[in-house]
């Protein structure tokens, strides 16, 4: 017996030496830095986004409530505080069960062993791994306290639905922090650990309730809760938190992610637990997302129905029926199963159609489409002229009850759009939308798309002209057809106005911008040359390449919406330029500030000239092509833009408080169609965003800097208006001090010879 004991001891010692020789150290546990999601917080402090490989938020031991600890121990390891890392009785029981089955099916893992397995070993089920696990568990118990081990476990384990650790689990299932969990909630989370997918209260509430009862019974047996507490919870139904709506600004968040990856690397962004504070205003961002989407849908419906997505053949019908397996609804195009709930959009096949109704088939389910719910595509026609039996059509579920669903004809817009809103003083980007649907296309048209700005570029041409001192808002210019020889390209060019053959003759520079005349900026740039215009635009904030020829006058260079918005923000900020700010602060997981970003304004355009340009752009909104934007009940400046071939529609505008730029166009540029201008296509989204921002803000005038003077102008002569001239015959204009006209026009009825007039037909002018 002694010999046998000696041999057994020697064998165990040998086994121990073999398996203990190359075991990992506890560095990863002592310096616990798990994969933790990067969280993005908006300007109001709300969480608006996360970037992660494992969705985890590590919390300190003091924030883990005692009720949750006890629930976890009841479910997983009731003797945790008594044993030294191993449950020997459980190990023997599992050994014989595995031996009987011939497979390694069961373990007897304590929480300590689970920590070892999660952090230090592979998940394979082998006897050698179990031996290593046992050795490491004993070592771990000697190196860390029980509370430290439990802290690691509760922050590391998986709770289903992509959530790791108790904090993320509490937030996901109950909409509260772990420290605020009650007994029933703690017991439910504890029960999930065994099999998060099989016991999910969202997908399998009955199983989750059964497991919760087991945990409560174990807590009662161990004396950790009273009979009254047990009775109060045992039959209480499970109530999980309502799923929150999708966070606002997916394009904004993607831009933030790209910025962070460039600065810190992809691994740090996905696993480093950064805390990122951005300039986004969540309320305004939601308005911007919705306004762009609705504006694009409105455009799409103005241009009619593009027809069915295809035809249902026998092969596709068989695939749909196989996927449906009875009562399931199936998207006929993608073959994915779909719940027919209000707001869901999917493709179905027309199985019957009359003048008033159509029946749409989705495999195991059907829906009814009435004529009134396709009116936008029909006009005065009947439904049978639009749809044919076998057509595959896109529909939206209006309502669904039992086996019946009421549908509306749907069509995703082919057009795209973008909107950027910036505070001019701080350059904080408070909202940014880069397209119709981020799920369909993550390409951010607000920052990544370069498009011709068209007439929204004209303020920089006019600004350069005013800055030269050769023109003022009262200078007379001529809107007339003329063929120009472009010295920079050597080609002849005859610019046209939007109205093609309409030319209004002599007018003031102010009026020419308000009406967005194309001939006038071409005349200006032919006298100035492109370099002063490019320089002015650069100082405002345009960074993209601009052509050095006459076409620059009509915005034939390409810019991004955020670039244009920031250039307009320079005008709104009295000539102070700064770069736009999306990310304001980044902290590491310990709260150490890694970077802080604030606007660093520098004067690039004189305040007086910026104000004069602002007043010219006010005339665009109050009297000219931007009249649809004149709805804010406060001073508003802006400029419409429609490229010469009608491929881009823009509106750029601002108040004292906010600058916003709205753009619409096709990704593969093509004409938007008759009547689609910046004023019609781009302004509606701009208006919605500006209304939302100014809803509770008082109206403010644009501040008047030093060096500005005002004058009432006679639009026919460019001179000071006659005394007692009626308001409708006067243009109120701002001037850089010392440049306003000094002569007064004669009152109507006097002989023209007594009124000296110098028409601007070249480069001279008042």
pLDDT tens, residue by residue, 251-302: 999 999 999 999 999 999 999 999 999 999 999 999 999 999 999 999 999 9
Residue 759 pLDDT: 36
Q: Cβ–Cβ contacts within 10 Å for residue 491, how many?
A: 12
Residue 105 pLDDT: 47
Asked if 124 and 230 sit in the same domain, the reply is yes
In a domain, 330, yes or no: yes
Asked if 220 and 363 sit in the same domain, the reply is no
Give per-residue pLDDT as tens, 510-522. 999 999 999 999 9
Residue 761 pLDDT: 36
Residue 464 pLDDT: 98
In a domain, 395, yes or no: yes
pTM, 2 dp: 0.88
Determine which one of 109, 200, 279, 455 is catalytic. 455
The length of the chain in residues reads: 766
In a domain, 509, yes or no: no
Alpha-carbon torsion (54, 55, 61, 66), positive or negative: negative
In a domain, 462, yes or no: no
- 560 as an active site residue: the answer is no
Q: What is the DSSP letter of 65?
A: -
500 Ramachandran zone, left/alpha/beta (phi>0; psi -120 to 50): left
Q: Residue 349 belongs to what domain range?
A: 310-409
Residue 418 pLDDT: 98
Asked if 196 and 78 sit in the same domain, the reply is yes
In a domain, 93, yes or no: yes
Asked if 66 and 189 sit in the same domain, the reply is yes
Asked if 70 and 183 sit in the same domain, the reply is yes
Last residue of a domain, one of 204, 234, 264: 234
281 Ramachandran zone, left/alpha/beta (phi>0; psi -120 to 50): beta
Asked if 176 and 89 sit in the same domain, the reply is yes
Residue 459 pLDDT: 98
Residue 106 pLDDT: 46
Are the C-beta atoms of residues 91 and 212 closer than 8 Å to each other?
Answer: no
Last residue of a domain, one of 169, 203, 234: 234
CATH, residue 329: 2.40.50.140
Q: Three-state secondary structure along 224-285?
A: CCCHHHHHHHHCCCCCCCCCCCCCCCHHHHHHHHHHHHHHHCHHHHHHECCEEEECCCHHHH
Asked if 66 and 212 sit in the same domain, the reply is yes
Residue 640 pLDDT: 96
Are the C-beta atoms of residues 460 and 496 closer than 8 Å to each other?
Answer: no
Tell me which residues of the chain have a pLDDT lower than 70. 8-31, 84-85, 87-108, 120-138, 500, 749-766
Average pLDDT value for the chain: 89
The closest of 412, 477, 340, 359 to 761, measured between CA atoms, is: 477
Asked if 66 and 158 sit in the same domain, the reply is yes
Determine which one of 76, 133, 167, 423 is catalytic. 76
- 76 as an active site residue: the answer is yes
Asked if 197 and 319 sit in the same domain, the reply is no
Residue 765 pLDDT: 34
Residue 34 pLDDT: 84
Asked if 221 and 351 sit in the same domain, the reply is no
- Domains: count for the chain: 3
In a domain, 140, yes or no: yes
In a domain, 585, yes or no: no
In a domain, 113, yes or no: yes
């Amino acid at each position: 017996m002694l010999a046998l004991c000696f041999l057994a001891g020697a064998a165990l010692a040998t086994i121990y030496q073999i398996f203990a020789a190359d075991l990992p150290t506890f560095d990863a546990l002592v310096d616990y830095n798990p994969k933790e999601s990067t969280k993005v917080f908006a300007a109001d402090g709300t969480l608006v986004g996360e970037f992660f490989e494992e969705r985890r938020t590590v919390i300190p031991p003091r924030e883990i409530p005692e009720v949750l600890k006890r629930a976890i121990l009841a479910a997983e390891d009731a003797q945790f505080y008594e044993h030294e890392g191993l449950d020997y009785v459980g190990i023997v029981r599992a050994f014989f069960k595995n031996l009987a089955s011939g497979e390694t099916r069961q373990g007897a893992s304590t929480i300590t062993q689970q920590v070892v397995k999660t952090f230090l070993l592979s998940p394979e089920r082998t006897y050698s791994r179990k031996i290593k696990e046992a050795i490491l568990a004993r070592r771990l118990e000697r190196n860390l306290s029980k509370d430290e081990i439990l802290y690691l476990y509760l922050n590391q384990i998986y709770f289903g639905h992509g959530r790791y650790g108790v904090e993320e689990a509490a937030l996901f299932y109950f909409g509260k922090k772990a420290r605020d969990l009650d007994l029933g909630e703690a017991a439910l989370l504890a029960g999930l650990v065994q099999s998060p997918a099989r016991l999910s209260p969202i997908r399998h509430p009955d199983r989750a309730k059964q497991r919760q009862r087991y945990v409560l019974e174990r807590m009662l047996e161990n004396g950790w809760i009273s009979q009254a507490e047990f009775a109060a919870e045992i039959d209480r139904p499970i109530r999980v938190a309502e799923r929150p709506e999708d966070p606002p600004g997916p394009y904004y968040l993607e831009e933030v992610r790209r910025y962070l990856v460039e600065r810190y690397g992809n691994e740090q962004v996905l696993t480093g637990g950064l805390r990122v504070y951005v300039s986004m205003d969540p309320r305004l961002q939601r308005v911007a997302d919705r306004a762009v989407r609705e504006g694009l849908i409105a455009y799409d419906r103005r241009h009619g129905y593009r027809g069915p997505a295809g035809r249902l053949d026998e092969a596709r019908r068989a695939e749909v029926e196989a996927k449906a397996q009875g009562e399931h609804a199936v998207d006929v195009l993608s073959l994915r199963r779909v719940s027919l709930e209000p707001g869901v959009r999917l493709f179905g096949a027309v199985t019957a159609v009359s003048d008033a109704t159509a029946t749409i088939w989705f495999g195991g389910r059907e829906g009814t489409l009435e004529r009134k719910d396709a009116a936008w595509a029909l006009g005065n026609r009947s439904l049978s002229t639009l749809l044919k039996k076998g057509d595959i059509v896109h529909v939206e579920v209006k309502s669904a009850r039992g086996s019946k669903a009421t549908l509306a004809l749907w069509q995703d817009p082919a057009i795209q759009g973008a909107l950027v809103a910036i505070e001019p003083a701080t350059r904080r980007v408070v909202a940014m939308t880069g397209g119709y649907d981020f799920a369909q296309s993550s390409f951010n048209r607000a920052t990544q798309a370069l498009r011709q700005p068209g007439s929204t570029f004209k303020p920089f041409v006019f600004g350069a002209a005013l800055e030269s001192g050769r023109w003022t808002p009262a200078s007379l210019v001529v809107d007339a057809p003329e063929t120009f020889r472009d010295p920079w390209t050597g080609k002849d060019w005859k610019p046209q106005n939007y109205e093609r053959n309409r030319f209004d003759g002599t007018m003031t520079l102010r009026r020419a911008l308000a009406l967005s005349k194309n001939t006038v900026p071409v005349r200006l740039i032919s006298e100035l040359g492109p370099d002063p215009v490019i320089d002015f635009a650069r100082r405002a904030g345009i960074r993209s390449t601009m052509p050095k020829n006459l076409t620059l006058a009509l915005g034939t260079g390409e810019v991004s919406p955020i670039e244009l918005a920031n250039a307009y923000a320079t005008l709104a900020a009295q000539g102070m330029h700064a770069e736009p700010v999306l990310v304001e602060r980044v902290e590491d997981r310990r709260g150490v500030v890694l970077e802080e970003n604030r606007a660093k304004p520098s004067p690039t355009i004189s305040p007086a000239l910026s104000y004069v340009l602002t007043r010219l752009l006010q005339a665009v909104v109050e009297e000219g092509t931007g009249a649809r934007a004149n709805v804010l009940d406060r001073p508003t400046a802006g400029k419409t833009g429609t490229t010469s071939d009608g491929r881009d529609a823009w509106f750029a505008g601002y108040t004292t408080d906010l600058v916003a730029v709205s753009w619409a166009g096709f990704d593969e540029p093509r004409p938007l169609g008759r009547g689609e201008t910046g004023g019609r296509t781009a302004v509606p989204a701009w208006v919605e965003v500006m209304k939302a921002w100014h809803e509770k803000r008082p109206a403010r005038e644009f501040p008047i800097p030093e060096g500005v003077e005002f004058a009432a102008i006679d639009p026919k002569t460019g001179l000071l208006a006659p005394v007692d001239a009626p308001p409708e015959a006067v243009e109120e204009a701002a001037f850089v001090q010392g440049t306003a006209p000094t002569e007064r026009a004669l009152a109507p009825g006097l002989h023209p010879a007594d009124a000296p007039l110098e028409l601007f037909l070249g480069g001279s002018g008042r």
